[in-house]
Structure 1
Amino acid sequence: MKRSLPPCYGPIQGFNLRNDHRRLAIYILLLTYFCYASYHASRKPLSIVKTVLHSNTNRHPETSGFSSEGWKPFDSDNWSQLLGGLEYIYLFVYACSMILSGFLAERVDLRYFLSIGMFLSGISTFAFGLASYFEIHYYSYFVFIQVFSGLVQASGWPAVVTLVGNWWGKSRRGLIMGLWNSHTSLGNIIGSIVAGYYVETNWGASFYLPGFIMMFGALVVFLTVIEHPNMVTSNSVGSDMTLSRITELRNISESNALRERSDKDDLKPLLLTTDITRPINFIEAILLPNVFTYSLLLFFAKLVSYTFLYWLPNYLTNVEHVSAEQAAKLSVLFDVGGIIGGVLIGWFSDSQSNKQSLNEDENTLRRRAVACFVMLACAAPLLLAYRLMPNANSLMSLFILTCCGASINGPYALVTTAVSADLGTQSALQGRARALATITAIIDGMGSLGAAFGPLLTGLLVPYGWSAVFAMLITSDLLAMLMSMWIVVNSRRHYHQNHRIHYRVESTTNLI
Structure 2
Amino acid sequence: MSHWFPHEKRGTISGLFGTSYHMGNVISLFLAGAILLHFKWRAVFWFPALLFFVSGIQFLILEKDNPESAGFKPKANTEQDSLSAENSDSGSRHFLVNPRLWQIGFASLSLNIMAWGFIYWVPTYLYEKIGYSISGAAFRTLLFPLAGCAGAVFAGWMTDKLPGYRRTPVIVVMLLLAALLTLILPAIPSGMKIAMLICLALMGFLIDGPHVLLAMTLAMDYGGKKRSASAAGFVDAMNYIGAAIGAFVAGYLVDRCGWQPAFHFWTAAVLATVVIMLPMWRNEK
TM over 0.5: yes
1:305 aligns with 2:104: no
Deviation at 1:417, TM superposition (A): 1.2
Residues 364-409 of structure 1: CA deviation (Å, up to 9, x unaligned): 4xx2111111011001110111112223872211110000101111
Say which SS state the counterpart of residue 462 (structure 1) adopts: helix
1:484 aligns with 2:283: no
State how far apart, in whole Å, the 2-side matches of 1:166 and 1:319 are.
48
Is the 2:144–2:203 contact (alpha carbons within 8 Å) kept by the matching residues of 1? yes
Of 374, 383, 391, 2:173 maps to 374
State how far apart, in whole Å, the 1-side matches of 2:71 and 2:233 are.
30
Q: Could you say which residue in structure 1 is the equivalent of 2:32?
A: 195
1:414 aligns with 2:213: yes
Of 201, 206, 212, 1:402 maps to 201
> Which residues of structure 1 form unaligned runs of 5+?
1-163, 237-242, 248-270, 355-363, 426-432, 496-512
Is the 1:421–1:440 contact (alpha carbons within 8 Å) kept by the matching residues of 2? yes
Deviation at 1:479, TM superposition (A): 0.6
Residues 33-74 of structure 1: CA deviation (Å, up to 9, x unaligned): xxxxxxxxxxxxxxxxxxxxxxxxxxxxxxxxxxxxxxxxxx
Deviation at 1:410, TM superposition (A): 1.2
Q: Could you say which residue in structure 2 is the equivalent of 1:118?
A: none
| Percent identity over paired residues | 25
Of 428, 451, 457, 2:249 maps to 457
For 1:284, the aligned partner's letter is H
- What is the alpha-carbon root mean square deviation over aligned residues? 2.5
State how far apart, in whole Å, the 1-side matches of 2:28 and 2:148 are.
15
For 2:189, the aligned partner's letter is P
Say which SS state the counterpart of residue 398 (structure 1) adopts: helix
Is the 1:200–1:324 contact (alpha carbons within 8 Å) kept by the matching residues of 2? no
Q: 1:392 to 1:223 in 2, by over 3 A?
A: farther
| Larger radius of gyration between Structure 1 and Structure 2 | 1
For 2:222, the aligned partner's letter is L
Q: 1:206 to 1:322 in 2, by over 3 A?
A: farther
Q: Could you say which residue in structure 2 is the equivalent of 1:440?
A: 232
State how far apart, in whole Å, the 2-side matches of 1:325 and 1:481 are.
34
Is the 1:286–1:442 contact (alpha carbons within 8 Å) kept by the matching residues of 2? no
State how far apart, in whole Å, the 1-side matches of 2:103 and 2:217 are.
15
Is the 2:151–2:208 contact (alpha carbons within 8 Å) kept by the matching residues of 1? yes
Structure number with higher relative contact order (C-alpha < 8 Å, ≥ 6 residues apart): 2
State how far apart, in whole Å, the 2-side matches of 1:326 and 1:208 are.
25
Q: Could you say which residue in structure 2 is the equivalent of 1:217?
A: 55
Residues 441-492 of structure 1: CA deviation (Å, up to 9, x unaligned): 1222222211111001112112121111111101111111111212214x17
Q: Could you say which residue in structure 2 is the equivalent of 1:423?
A: 222
Q: Could you say which residue in structure 2 is the equivalent of 1:174?
A: 11
- Which structure shows the bigger proportion of residues in helix conformation? 2
1:319 aligns with 2:129: yes
Is the 2:129–2:190 contact (alpha carbons within 8 Å) kept by the matching residues of 1? no
State how far apart, in whole Å, the 1-side matches of 2:71 and 2:193 are.
57
Q: 1:228 to 1:191 in 2, by over 3 A?
A: same
Q: Could you say which residue in structure 1 is the equivalent of 2:97?
A: 287
TM-score (norm 1): 0.50
Is the 1:386–1:397 contact (alpha carbons within 8 Å) kept by the matching residues of 2? yes
Say which SS state the counterpart of residue 209 (structure 1) adopts: helix
Q: 1:379 to 1:293 in 2, by over 3 A?
A: same
State how far apart, in whole Å, the 2-side matches of 1:286 and 1:437 are.
13
Q: Could you say which residue in structure 2 is the equivalent of 1:472?
A: 265
Matches within 5 A, 1:328-339: 328-339=138-149
State how far apart, in whole Å, the 2-side matches of 1:200 and 1:387 are.
32
Residues 78-107 of structure 1: CA deviation (Å, up to 9, x unaligned): xxxxxxxxxxxxxxxxxxxxxxxxxxxxxx
Is the 2:118–2:266 contact (alpha carbons within 8 Å) kept by the matching residues of 1? no
Q: Could you say which residue in structure 2 is the equivalent of 1:19?
A: none
State how far apart, in whole Å, the 2-side matches of 1:233 and 1:321 are.
57
Q: 1:440 to 1:350 in 2, by over 3 A?
A: same
Is the 2:159–2:170 contact (alpha carbons within 8 Å) kept by the matching residues of 1? yes
Of 134, 158, 161, 1:351 maps to 161
Q: Could you say which residue in structure 2 is the equivalent of 1:110?
A: none
State how far apart, in whole Å, the 1-side matches of 2:37 and 2:258 are.
26
TM-score (norm 2): 0.86
State how far apart, in whole Å, the 2-side matches of 1:474 and 1:186 are.
25
Of 159, 182, 185, 1:383 maps to 182
> Which residues of structure 2 form unaligned runs of 5+?
76-84
Residues 113-149 of structure 1: CA deviation (Å, up to 9, x unaligned): xxxxxxxxxxxxxxxxxxxxxxxxxxxxxxxxxxxxx
For 2:248, the aligned partner's letter is L
